[in-house]
Amino acid sequence: MASESAWAPRGSHDGWGAVVAAGKGDRVDGGDVEEVGDEDGGGYPTLVDTSTADFDRTFAVNTRGAFLCLREAAHRLPRGGGGRIVAITSSVVGSHPTGYSAYTASKAAVEAMMRTMAKELKGTRITANCVAPGATATDMFFAGKSEERVDEIKATNPMGRLGEAGDIAPVVGFLCTDAAEWVNGQVIRVNGGYV
């Protein structure tokens, strides 16, 4: 377990700055993400067809990027102040679709880090959770996908549609409130019943 000094808050802030900083850190150059996926938008390559470079890039963006944000958020949030850390992962961790091996593993690693971090922050009153959306109508989701492919993905969901930012934001918002103090080390799948 890290020493108390390793978890000392950095800089001056009001707690919310760390949440905003963590959110900003989740954004990456879209070109990097698009290069990982295949050209026809059907998903990512199978495990046996995944190049080492694509595997490394996927983990650099999804896992290492999240690690850096989580660590910084933990350093910035004041101890005893009821801070909240929320990472965004993916419901593919629970569904294991073909063609998403590296992506799924990279998001599962974030979920494992978050669960461990929640325990490592014992005594700080800081909670650490993940929100794992399903397929969500974003520019990144639609990039390279045909209308037919989007319809196929919608059909896999019991609600018969894609998620919207408005479906996910209230869950993240709740986890950031005092009312969510007893929710810690959890992965909340927000996906319309997909998983």
CB atoms within 10 A of CB 16: 12
Q: Is residue 1 part of a domain?
A: no
Query: How far is the C-alpha of 181 from the C-alpha of 190, rounded, in Å?
Result: 19
Q: Is residue 4 part of a domain?
A: no
Q: What confidence category does residue 44 fall into, taking pLDDT thresholds of 50, 70 and 90?
A: confident
Query: How far is the C-alpha of 111 from the C-alpha of 90, rounded, in Å?
Result: 9
At 67, which CATH number?
3.40.50.720
Query: How far is the C-alpha of 180 from the C-alpha of 175, rounded, in Å?
Result: 5
Q: Is residue 101 part of a domain?
A: yes
- Residue 31: the pLDDT is 40
80 lies in which domain range?
11-190
The DSSP 8-state label assigned to residue 185 in this structure reads S
Q: Is residue 52 part of a domain?
A: yes
**pLDDT cut 90: percent of the chain above it:** 71
pLDDT digits (tens, 9 = 90+) for 110-169: 999 999 999 999 999 999 999 999 999 999 899 989 999 999 999 999 999 999 999 999
Residues whose CB falls within 8 Å of the CB of residue 97, separated by 6 or more in sequence, listed in order: 43, 104
Residues annotated catalytic, as ranges: 103
Query: How far is the C-alpha of 86 from the C-alpha of 187, rounded, in Å?
Result: 10
Number of domains in the chain: 1
Q: Is residue 138 part of a domain?
A: yes
